[in-house]
Amino acid sequence: MKFSFSRWPLKNVFFLGTVSLLTDISREMIFPLLPLYLTSVLGAGTAFVGLVEGIAESTSSVLHLLAGWLSDRIRKRKTLMLWGYGLSAVTRPLVALATAGWHILLVRFVEKVGKGIRVTSRDALIAESATVENRGKSFGLHRSLDNIGSIIGPLLAFSLLAHLGNNYRLVFWIASIPAFLGLGGLAFYVSEKERAIDKTEKITIKGLFDLKPFQKNFKCFLLITAIFEMANSSNAFLLLRVKDVGLSVELIPIIYLFCNIFKTVSSLPGGMLSDKLGRRNMLACGWVIYGLSYLGFAFFTSVSQAWVIFGIYGLFSGMTEGIKKALVTDLVPQEIRGAAFGLHSFISSFIQLPASLLLGIVWQKYNAVIAFSLGGGMAIAAGCLLLIFIPSKQT
């Protein structure tokens, strides 16, 4: 039987994943170098670096809400994605042209506006491109391709930097190429079907934080997600922890890459398993093992143990990325999925700040064992709550 790619049911998802892969390659070629570029080339201080990243992340989380709501209203996911990916692509060469710290601040703001606009529309389009039977596989495939970009980007950046005599600007110019290729791929290869929705049964969202149209199970899931995200602090703490047990500074980027490789290889199998075993069950299992890996970070005592735990952490972190979004799809009607993805993304992004503050304060006031044990306990509790309050028949 001859295979026809045009008739492949996940064709749209594959192209969406390829767009994300190219965009991630571009982003990861630039933004790991930005702190060095700001401080060593543009003369900015570390406080300014923190300001840049803080404004960037808060901008993205708020726009997730707005873009998700808007995509449901105008019913044109691809149009919003083109604007979002277009804004992000335009920022790439602007980084190379920057001559002052405030230029980078403005560029990061625009880049995050682009990301905030596109993410929820993209997730909703993936949901609409998949069937009930392959939703987990679809989101897993997308996350896998996205994570591949996160691996290739830094490797390309540091390889180019070494061969170009630390010429940051030239690396940034080169990084613009995959961003514009991704934008072209979105324009020509990603399609959006007209969604026929019965106007007599149409559900409307009156405001960004309007939860009334959503069913109880989705509201419950948002609350449980908030509990889990309080355990999901910045990965910077994991790197500080492995340094404490003796991992050399030179190997810290390598162990982080090692973790990302496990995230990449587990995304697609995790999504496929969720189609067969149930998304609630797989997500709960992933969160519990995620919590156990945090307990591992609390109690490990050697570098060899650190490598094993980082692998487990990456494996189950990657496995659950796509499943969360597939579960949102299961719990929400089609006509308000954009708003649902916006709320879910907002909660996930917004809580990262207090989660990181909590772990940092507990670590500083007490010790790392208590800090990571607290995080591990919350993740395990979230997994158990998922099994108790989210019925399996919907997943």
Spatial separation of the C-alpha atoms in residues 97 and 118, rounded to whole Å:
25
The separation between CA 163 and the C-alpha centre of its own chain, rounded to angstroms, equals 31
Q: Higher-confidence residue: 70 or 388?
A: 388
One-letter amino acid for residue 251 of the chain: L
Query: Which residues fall within 8 angstroms of residue 343, CB to CB, at 6 or more apart?
Result: 65, 68, 209, 211, 222
- 144-172, pLDDT tens digit by residue? 999 898 889 888 887 888 888 888 889 89
Residues 6+ apart with CB under 8 A from 316: 266, 286, 289, 290, 293
Quick one: pLDDT at residue 227? 95
Give the pair of three-digit tokens for residue 360: 């940092």
Q: How many Cα atoms are found within 13 Å in the side-chain-facing hemisphere of 164?
A: 15
Report yes or no: 63 and 75 within 8 Å, Cβ to Cβ: no
- Model confidence pLDDT, tens digit, residues 124-139: 899 888 888 898 999 9
Q: Tokens 């209203």 correspond to what residue?
A: 73
> Which three-class secondary structure string do you get for the chain?
CCCCHHHCCCHHHHHHHHHHHHHHHHHHHHCCCHHHHHHHHCCCCHHHHHHHHHHHHHHHHHHHHHHHHHHHHHCCHHHHHHHHHHHHHHHHHHHHHCCCHHHHHHHHHHHHHHHHHHHHHHHHHHHHHCCHHHHHHHHHHHHHHHHHHHHHHHHHHHHHHHHCCCCHHHHHHHHHHHHHHHHHHHHHHCCCCCCCCCHHHCCCCCCCCCCCCCCHHHHHHHHHHHHHHHHCCCCHHHHHHHHHCCCCHHHHHHHHHHHHHHHHHHHHHHHHHHHHHCHHHHHHHHHHHHHHHHHHHHHCCCHHHHHHHHHHHHHHHHHHHHHHHHHHHHHCCHHHHHHHHHHHHHHHHHCHHHHHHHHHHHHHHCCHHHHHHHHHHHHHHHHHHHHHHCCHHHC
Other C-beta atoms closer than 10 Å to the C-beta of 5 total: 7
pTM score, whole prediction: 0.81
What is the rounded CA–CA span in Å between residue 337 and residue 134? 17
Among the residue ranges 70-84, 193-207, 297-311, 366-380, the one predicted with the least confidence is 193-207
**pLDDT tens across 36-55, in order?**
777 777 877 656 665 665 56
Query: Span 169-183, mean pLDDT?
Result: 93
Which domains does the chain carry? Answer: 7-191 (1.20.1250.20), 209-395 (1.20.1250.20)
Structure tokens, 169 = 């600007």
**pLDDT tens column, 348-365:** 877 877 887 888 888 888
In this model, does residue 57 exceed pLDDT 80? no
Q: What is the pLDDT of residue 201?
A: 45
| Residue 85: closest CA among 194, 190, 193 | 190
Rounded to the nearest integer, the mean pLDDT of the chain is 84
- High-pLDDT (> 90) share of the chain, %: 37
